[in-house]
A and B are shown apart, each in its own frame.
Chain A
Amino acid sequence: MATERKASVTWQGDLMSGHGTIESVTSGVLGPLEVDWANRAEDAQGKTSPEELIAAAHASCFAMALSHGLAQEGHAPERLETSATITFVPGTGITKSVLTVTGTVPGLDEDAFRQAAEQAKENCPVSQALKGNVELSLDARLS
């Protein structure tokens, strides 16, 4: 079954001095949120950016895929703490996503956990969308 999610943005003015607003998303959890070039390409000062949202998408997708993989092997996780860090090089694009996970998984050893995490890194839908263009790396450990 196909699932659609929509987001809407308004932008006013040029790139360098203008600003935009993420007006709304399907679920209503985001928006209105300010975005601008300075916050995207330089230091984040309390504003989000496309790359931060991709990081959130990747970390959440990876956590789900890993919970599924672990449960299929009979080791549903008690808790997974995941993060994604996206590197954006202005003028070049998005070059890298670094995933980390710390898991509490009763009855599983480090090797099996790392293998499951590696699988999730390769197969979650957001990884599939990024793969090929973006270097993906992973640091997985049990807590």
Chain B
Amino acid sequence: MPRVDRSAHVSWEGNLARGEGRISAPSGVLSDAPYSAATRIASRPETTSPEELLAAAHAGCFAMSLAGELTRAGTPPERLDVSANVTLDEVPGRGHLVVRSAISARARVPGADELSFAQAVEAADEGCTFSALVRASAEVQVDATLEGGD
């Protein structure tokens, strides 16, 4: 399989407490997006944070992984709605750490039953590269619901 490199660039000015950074990604979806310590801890509209970008990465990764597993089981999804909620917390003696990513998924999957869906969810969690990374140092919670299963 080919290896894929993806990069992103940040400019930061000043110290942590009063400084500010700007994040850009080559695809153009982030272009000089501002962030700072204040908006990392207390979120404000229009300012992203490393943890928010991780949440977007995890939700995107899990949705693709679940689509792959359901297809492999012979029941490709019609629609998946996936959210990730990433928690940054101060851990005594270790500073700020990502302590949890909670995935919540709702799925419309013609032909899937509860059992096959649960198996696909478990496989998707195991197969999603980002779940594996987070699980090494933090908790990953997965809450998945099959809508109107038939």
Contact = CB atoms under 8 A, between A and B. Distances in A.
Interface in B37-62: 37, 39-62
Contacts of B130: 50, 54, 94
Contact of A128 (B13, B61, B137): B137
Interface residues of B, number: 88
A131 B14 CA distance: 27
Given A2-B99, A126-B98, A128-B137, A87 B4 contact: yes
Nearest to B133: A133
Contact of B98 (A29, A50, A82, A128): A128
Given A64-B37, A129-B134, A25 B55 contact: yes
Which of B50, B59, B88, B89 has its CB near the most chain A CB atoms (within 10 A)? B50
Given A8-B59, A9-B81, 18 more contacts: A3-B87, A4-B85, A7-B59, A11-B82, A13-B67, A22-B56, A26-B43, A26-B55, A27-B48, A29-B47, A46-B27, A48-B29, A51-B4, A52-B29, A53-B53, A57-B57, A71-B17, A93-B132
8 contacts: A5-B49, A5-B86, A8-B81, A11-B80, A47-B27, A52-B29, A94-B129, A129-B97
Interface of B: 1-17, 19, 21, 23, 25-30, 33, 35, 37, 39-64, 66-68, 70-71, 76-90, 95-99, 129-130, 132-134, 136-138
The 8 residue pairs across chains A and B that have the minimum distance between CB atoms: A93-B129, A15-B68, A68-B16, A71-B15, A56-B8, A57-B53, A5-B52, A14-B71
